[in-house]
Amino acid sequence: MESPPHVHVTVLGHLQRDGSPSAFDRLLATRFGAMAVHMIAQGKVGHMVALHDGHITAVPLGDAVSRQKRVPLDSDLVRAALGLHICFGDSRQAIVAG
């Protein structure tokens, strides 16, 4: 007889940022989960849940992966990440940051 599956709770905010999730993180996760359950109940497959212009929406997976989304290298997001020693896979950057 197979044993039942085990559930393990992971706090993603902590895992990704090494900090406790904020109220926004918790509410967003709840909204995403509710939309995912709604999509399952409606039989909507091949979609992902997304936050778009402040609204939770279903996005076809084909639309989500149809093109690369690029961040300009001179953007404040990249500068902030580099300031935190986040590596983007550039071996020269890894040597300098390391």
Q: What is the pLDDT along the chain (98 residues), one digit of tens a residue?
A: 666 666 667 666 556 666 677 888 889 999 999 999 999 999 999 999 999 999 999 999 999 888 888 878 888 888 888 888 777 776 555 444 44
Report residue 40 CA to chain centroid gap: 20
pLDDT on residue 95: 46
pLDDT in tens, 56-80: 999 999 998 888 888 788 888 888 8
Strands (E), 9-97: 47-52, 55-60
pLDDT on residue 97: 45
Instruction: Give the domain ranges of the chain.
Output: 1-67, 68-98
Tell me which DSSP letter residue 87 carries. Answer: -
pLDDT on residue 79: 85
d(CA 13, CA 10): 9
Q: Could you tell me the pTM of the whole model?
A: 0.56
d(CA 4, CA 16): 29
CB atoms within 10 A of CB 36: 16
pLDDT on residue 62: 92
d(CA 61, CA 49): 10
User: Are the C-beta atoms of 30 and 51 separated by less than 8 Å?
Assistant: no
pLDDT on residue 4: 66
